């Protein structure tokens, strides 16, 4: 695939750029990510959606250099501020990613140290990163814990992670990511465990970060309603492939898959926007299945014979809009 995800975009090089990324498992026979291109500019929030197993997390983990054991980058390059990360030693890459990228995972427990209080964990970041004295780091910590919606920051700071609910822990992890003040934030289903009010606060914080600090945010989610107020554009993945770059409010989905995700949805009572991905009859293929044509064809209500013959390219269907379907452009 050669199409860029922001065609004809002017200006400086992207903050982060993935070109032609493929990720395999086993001995290279299972491709879980297939030729993904993705750009993220300073101050830009990009949403990444798709059914479970479509390759969203592996794409994000590749960007951070954190692919799980057994996974291998087969093709592609990853650039950060125009620099190819594969040209760096593992140590230099870790240092660069640790300093400039922050990741918020769906499962917050793994990111927290069970033997340190919440306050110590957050203020350690301020002390190490900015060399702040203890009292100043503590004040910044309490301020940040308040910002992420912890009701009693002073008490929370003295608690250990196991005393917290999943939602509270997630807010702490988000506070830690914000304390790092990264240029690139990858948030992988960060609000799934949170109630809608807190989720909205977190989204607001991330959007402020993109705006004020000119950070780039890659936001992976199943909650499409959240993206409408957050993302500048949305990428849709299916079976390891990018199939569409669409508008953040999903007002004009083009690919039958995107339309299917949105189609059967009851409107969100608060905003009339789709709330979550809706089930489409059938299942996505497993990475071991091979297709001569479009992998969505077996589930596509609009398929024709030609869909079986070859994989369509990701092509520009409207200005700035990309779609992988032979009905377009
Ligand atoms: N450690 C692993 N070993 C083998 N296969 C894996 C492993 N991790 C992921 N996969 C496979 O790679 C594919 C993509 O996984 P990925 O985690 O990127 O999906 P995802 O889009 O993030 O899904 P979800 O929405 O469920 O988080 C899936 O088919 C999954 O089965
Ligand atoms: Mg995932």
Question: What is the model's pLDDT at position 277?
Answer: 57
Interval 177-199 mean pLDDT: 85
Residue 250 domain flag = yes
Mean pLDDT of the chain: 86
Report the pLDDT value the prediction gives residue 269, as an integer from 0 to 100.
47
Atom of ligand 1 nearest to the CA of 240: 14
Tens of pLDDT, residues 235-275: 999 999 999 998 888 888 899 999 888 874 445 545 444 45
Angstrom distance (rounded) from CA 268 to CA 87: 46
Summarize the confidence of residues 84-108 as an average pLDDT: 86
For residues 280 and 214, the model is more confident at 214
Check pocket membership of 295 for ligand 1, CB cut-off 6 A: no
- In a domain, residue 309? The reply is yes
Give alpha helix (H) positions in the chain: 56-64, 90-100, 118-130, 134-147, 153-157, 166-179, 196-212, 224-228, 256-263
Q: What is the Å distance from ligand 2's center to 222 Cα?
A: 10
Could you tell me if residue 189 is inside a domain?
yes
pLDDT of residue 266: 46
Dist CA 61 CA 250 (whole Å): 26
Domain residues for the domain of 176 are 16-115+160-323
245 within a domain of the structure (yes/no): yes
129 domain-assigned: no
Does 10 map to a domain? no
CATH number at residue 98: 3.40.50.300
Instruction: Report whether pLDDT(222) > 70.
Output: yes
Beta carbons within 8 Å of 56's beta carbon, 6+ residues apart: 48, 49, 50, 188, 220, 237
C-beta of residue 224 within 8 angstroms of C-beta of residue 277: yes
Which ligand number lies closest to the CA of residue 239? 1
What percentage of the chain carries pLDDT values higher than 90? 52
CA–centroid distance for 173 within its chain: 16
pLDDT band at residue 165 using 50, 70 and 90 as cut-offs: confident
Return the ligand number nearest the Cα of 61: 1
Domains: count for the chain:
1
Q: Specify the range with the lowest mean pLDDT, choosing from 107-121, 124-138, 290-304.
A: 107-121
- Which ligand is nearest the CA of 70, by number? 1
Q: pLDDT tens digits, residue range 118-153?
A: 999 999 999 988 899 999 999 999 999 998 888 899
Confirm whether 173 is domain-assigned.
Answer: yes
Give residue 171's pLDDT: 86
Largest CA distance in the chain: 69
90 within domain boundaries: yes
- The confidence score (pLDDT) of residue 275 equals 53
Pocket of ligand 1, candidates 25, 51, 60: which has the most ligand atoms within 8 Å of its Cβ, to mutate?
A: 25
Shortest-distance atom of ligand 1 to CA 23: 12
Asked whether 239 and 31 are in contact (CB, 8 A), the reply is: no
């Amino acid at each position: 695939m050669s199409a860029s995800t922001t065609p004809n975009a002017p200006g400086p090089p992207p903050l982060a750029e993935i070109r032609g990324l493929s990720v395999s498992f086993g001995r290279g026979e299972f491709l879980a990510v297939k030729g993904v291109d993705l750009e993220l500019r300073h101050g830009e929030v990009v949403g990444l959606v798709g059914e479970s197993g479509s390759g969203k997390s592996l794409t994000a983990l590749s960007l951070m250099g954190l692919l799980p054991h057994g996974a291998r980058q087969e093709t592609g390059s990853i650039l950060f501020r125009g620099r190819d990360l594969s040209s760096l030693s593992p140590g230099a890459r870790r240092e660069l990613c640790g300093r400039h990228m922050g990741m918020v995972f769906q499962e917050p427990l793994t990111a927290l140290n069970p033997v340190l209080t919440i306050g110590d964990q957050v203020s350690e970041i301020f002390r190490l990163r900015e060399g702040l004295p203890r009292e100043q780091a503590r004040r910044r910590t309490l301020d940040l814990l308040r910002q992420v919606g912890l009701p009693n920051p002073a008490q929370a700071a003295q608690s250990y992670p196991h005393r917290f609910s999943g939602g509270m822990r997630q807010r702490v992890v988000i506070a830690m990511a914000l304390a790092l003040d990264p240029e690139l934030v990858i948030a992988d289903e960060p609000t799934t465990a949170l109630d809608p009010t807190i989720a909205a606060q977190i989204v607001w914080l991330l959007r402020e970060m993109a705006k004020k600090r000119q950070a780039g945010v890659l936001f992976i989610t199943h909650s499409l309603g959240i993206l409408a107020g957050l993302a500048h554009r949305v990428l849709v993945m299916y079976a390891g492939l990018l199939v569409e770059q669409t508008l953040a409010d999903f007002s004009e989905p083009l690919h039958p898959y995107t339309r299917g995700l949105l189609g059967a949805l009851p409107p969100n009572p608060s905003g009339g926007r789709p709330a979550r991905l809706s089930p489409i009859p059938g299942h996505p293929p497993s990475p071991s299945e091979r297709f001569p044509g479009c992998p969505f064809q077996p589930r596509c209500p609009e398929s024709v014979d030609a869909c079986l013959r070859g994989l369509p390219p990701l092509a520009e269907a409207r200005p700035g809009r990309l779609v992988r379907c032979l009905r377009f452009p």
